[in-house]
Amino acid sequence: MEEQTATTGEMSRSVAEAASSSGEVAITVTGVAEVAAATAEGARTTQQAAADLTRLAGDLTTLVGGFRH
């Protein structure tokens, strides 16, 4: 009977540890998802800035070309 009680107690501890680990994994996955979303937003902002810079470079090229001729 004592062995069965000890085994049951150990099983309970193992289940509790597994539940705790699962919770930690869920928190980590949530953190990774948040970082991925922030990175995607940063990439969109960078892409927009690059497009704006390309447009401005074209405008500047046109203006400088007007002074050369």
What tokens does 67 get?
Answer: 């002074």
**DSSP-derived 3-state class of residue 28:** helix
* Tens-place pLDDT, residues 10-23: 888 888 888 888 88
* Tens-place pLDDT, residues 36-46: 999 999 999 99
What tokens does 41 get?
Answer: 């937003």
What average pLDDT score do residues 51-64 get?
96
Instruction: Please report the pLDDT score of residue 69 as a whole number.
Output: 61
**Arithmetic mean of pLDDT over the chain:** 90
